[in-house]
Structure 1
Amino acid sequence: MEDSGMRIGEVAERTGLSVRTLRHYDEVGVVSPSGYTPGGFRLYSGDDIERIMLIRRMKPLEFTLEEMRGFLDAVDHPDTPGARKTIALIRAEAATRLEKLRRRVGYAEEFLRLVEDL
């Protein structure tokens, strides 16, 4: 990739993630930039940003980086053995975790109402 794409600071601003988090994702192989400038700066494509946003959406559901990587590998290669099963398992787990999260938000809202009445 030539000097086209977004630099890491721009991606951090757009995604709401920190530069440190984006670097960590690159180091552990969850999402890496598609290219680099001649000076060695990371450059992220639109597809890279979509992948980062998918990861960001998984974070509140507390998926591990390993689970995210496995899911993304399955999405990237849906015809490989086990990919559809991985996607189905993550889908089911996401639904379960979302329900737990909704319940926790409900408790937090109840608490806030109680505190406001003090």
Structure 2
Amino acid sequence: MDDKHMQIGEVAARTELSLRTIRHYEETGLVAPSARSQGGFRLYTEADVARLIVIRRMKPLGFTLDQMRDLLDATDRLDAGDVLDDGERETLLGRVREYEQAATEQVGKLRTQLARAEDFAATLRRRLPGASAERD
């Protein structure tokens, strides 16, 4: 990974998160700037951006901050390159597996909600004057 440092504004643009949201995630311990400039500005790396993107993807699926922290802890430990005994590695993988299953389940629920919302919008369109079947 590139060790290039970015200021918070660039990170916000890349992650599509607000500066306030990024600072909130820092305050709650989900992410920490990798460095600070001499002027005290937060500096982030590609790894920090990747971490924020994981958080951004978990949020609309209804995961709590504690769950985000737990998953990130598990993936950090798996990715650290430290020697893990088989039991510890399997425990961490089990945690990741549980989050994957929860995410898959939530995606299914969202698909159902989306289909219902699309049906509702189509029903409303059909009620409007000049509505055509082509718009459905």
| TM-score, with length taken from structure 2 | 0.79
- Provide, for residues 90-112 of structure 1, a one-character-per-residue CA deviation record: whole Å limited to 9, x for no partner: 01111111100111111111111
Give unpaired runs (5+ residues) of structure 2: 79-83, 128-136
Q: Following superposition of structure 1 onto structure 2, how do residues 1-118 of structure 1 map, counting pairs within 5 Å? A: 4-78=4-78, 79=84, 81=88, 82-118=91-127
Letter in 2 for 1:68: M
Identical aligned residues as a percent: 44
Higher mean displacement: 105-114 or 22-31? 105-114
Q: What do you get for the CA RMSD once the two structures are aligned? A: 1.3
1:39 offset after TM fit, Å? 1.1
Partner Cα distance (1:66, 1:6) in 2: 27
Count of residue correspondences: 115
Partner Cα distance (2:6, 2:126) in 1: 48
Partner Cα distance (1:60, 1:105) in 2: 14
1:10 offset after TM fit, Å? 1.2
- Provide, for residues 75-100 of structure 1, a one-character-per-residue CA deviation record: whole Å limited to 9, x for no partner: 01124833122111101111111100
1:37 offset after TM fit, Å? 0.7
1:114 offset after TM fit, Å? 1.2
- Provide, for residues 35-60 of structure 1, a one-character-per-residue CA deviation record: whole Å limited to 9, x for no partner: 11111111110110011111111122
Partner Cα distance (1:106, 1:33) in 2: 40
1:6 offset after TM fit, Å? 1.0
